[in-house]
Amino acid sequence: MSRVLPAERGLRRVIGDGAETPDGEVDGLGADQLLALYRDLVLLRTYDERSLVYHRQGRIGTYAIFWNHEAMQAGSAFALDERDWIFPSYRESAIGLLRGMPASTVLSWWRGHPAGWWNPLDYNVASICVPIGTHVPHAVGFAWGSKLKGEGRVAIAYFGDGATSEGSFHEGATFAGVMKAPVVLFCNNNQWAISTPLELQTGAPTLADKAVGYGMPGVRVDGADVLAVYEATREAVERARAGDGPTLVEAVTYRSAPHATADDPSLYVDEERVAEERANECVGRYERYLLRLGVLSEAEADAIKQEALAVMREGIAQAEAEPPADVSLVFEHAYAVPPPAHEHELAELRRILGG
């Protein structure tokens, strides 16, 4: 019988602070890859910052901010092959950008427009999951099915600290452990589930400790260190592909933005802790690492940021150029056989909307 040990308590880190803590490095990552990872981070950061502006301008609806979650998303996605599947939650809404999805698609999703629905087969990215944790069994089932077909694919499911209290997480993780599904369960532990703090979420010392109960390794990593996230996920992906089953990765951060645009965290959050987190945010931290390493120059960094801004300008223009959707779409997939009143109600709705 294999024995699963309690999770590493310490957070894995690679990036130093430019002073007392020295920089580490990750085997096998050359300058091109380090820069590609930087581009991914900047693209996600730019997507997020522009989205907040677009929301304030009334151009997208309520939006789940992921500022300072970029390292968790870009670092882990960088460890995957194209054939591997991503199962995002609303917090990873823009992760498809890293798979070539146009920004207009994700922006359309947040505009509540059908142009925001993509075919998962086009990008190996499943639909954005809004119910907490319900995509964990989907990812596990997908991974197991793929294993039975001998495809060599790995699936990754992203979810938050709050999701680890949900039945779906327990069901998915149990199944993954028993069937040795090739899946990475990636928890963004930002220590808040809207206004519920981690200490009210679990009595476990760490979330990674939960892995023991499912018969899988649990690793803890600094969620603002993109290289540590990449390395930990790469190991989890290698295990999964080798047939050794799932891993729970707990990436630790502290949510330093509101839960979403409709939230006021000043009512509950620790402002000092937020200030600390923001001062050490993940994109700047990686940028300084690359500058120290001599892999990136200030001018290159600026050019990459400008490219990302151009992507966003084009994305919002395309999303706004979409003609309004027909209201009948609201009901299209709701009924196998529409009830008798349906036609009348639809006509009434068209009359009210003036469409």
Ligand X SMILES: Cc1ncc(C[n+]2csc(CCOP(=O)(O)OP(=O)(O)O)c2C)c(N)n1
- CA pair distance 80, 249, nearest whole angstrom: 14
Q: Which is nearer to ligand X, 12 or 259 (CB)?
A: 259
Q: Which is nearer to Mg ion, 93 or 190 (CB)?
A: 190
Whether 259 is a known active-site residue: answer yes
Q: What angle do CA 13, 14, 20 make, to 5 degrees?
A: 90
Active site residue 268: yes
Of 200, 282, 226, 215, residue with least CA distance to 248: 215
Nearer to ligand X, 46 or 89 (CB): 89
* CB distance 173 to 215 below 8 Å: no
In the chain, DSSP finds a helix count (H) and a strand count (E) of: 13, 7
In eight-state DSSP terms, residue 261 is T
Is 204 one of the binding residues for ligand X (CB under 6 A)?
A: no
- Which CB, 160 or 182, lies closer to ligand X? 160
194 or 349: CB nearest ligand X? 194
Only one residue has tokens 């997908």, namely 142
Q: Which helix (H) or strand (E) segment is 41 a member of? A: helix 31-56
* Candidates 255, 285, 286, 289; catalytic one: 255
Residues in contact with ligand X, shown as a per-residue x/- string from 57 to 96 under the rule CB under 6 A? ----------------------------------x-----
* Cα 271 from Cα 10, distance rounded (Å): 24
Residues 230-289 touching ligand X, rule: CB under 6 A, are 259
Question: Which residue is at the shortest CB distance from ligand X?
Answer: 160
Amino acid identity of residue 94, one-letter, is A
Task: Report what 262 binds from ligand X, Mg ion, none; CB cut-off 5-8 Å by kind.
Answer: none
> Is 230 a residue of the active site?
no
Check residue 194 for interaction with ligand X (CB under 6 A): yes
What's the CA gap between 44 and 38, in Å, rounded? 10
Residues 162, 215: Cα–Cα separation, whole Å: 21
* Residue 209 contact among Mg ion, ligand X, none, beta carbon within 5 to 8 Å by kind: none
Longest dimension (CA), the chain: 72
| Binding-site member from 188, 206, 253, 256 for ligand X (CB under 6 A) | 188
Q: Which does 205 bind (CB under 5 to 8 A by kind): ligand X, Mg ion, none?
A: none
* Alpha-carbon torsion (241, 73, 27, 216), positive or negative: negative
Residue 210 CB, shortest distance to Mg ion, in Å, is 15
Q: Which residue is nearest to Mg ion (CB)?
A: 160
Which residues between 134 and 173 bind ligand X (CB under 6 A)? 159-163
Q: Residue for token digits 């077909």?
A: 149
CB 91 within 8 A of CB 106: no
User: At 42, is the secondary structure helix, strand, or coil?
Assistant: helix
**CA–CA distance from 340 to each of 344, 345, 347, 355 (Å)?**
8, 10, 13, 22
Q: Which one among 76, 190, 247, 256 touches ligand X, defined by CB under 6 A?
A: 190
Residues that bind Mg ion (CB under 5 A): 160-161, 190, 192-193
Distance CA 262, CA 259 (A): 8
Q: Which is nearer to Mg ion, 258 or 315 (CB)?
A: 258
Asked if 200 is part of the footprint of ligand X (rule: CB under 6 A), the reply reads no
Minimum gap (Å) between residue 131 Cβ and ligand X: 4
| Interface pick for ligand X out of 132, 229, 283, 296 (rule CB under 6 A) | 132
Give residue for tokens 């990036």: 15
Taking the complex as a whole, the smallest distance from the CB of residue 206 to ligand X amounts, in Å, to 15
Q: What tokens were used for 75?
A: 């670092």
- Which partner, ligand X, Mg ion, none, binds residue 163 by CB below 5 to 8 Å per kind? ligand X
Q: Of 55, 91, 259, 285, which is the active-site residue?
A: 259
Q: Which residues are part of the catalytic machinery? A: 255, 259, 268
By CB under 6 A, name the binding residues for ligand X. Answer: 91, 130-132, 159-163, 188, 190, 192-194, 259
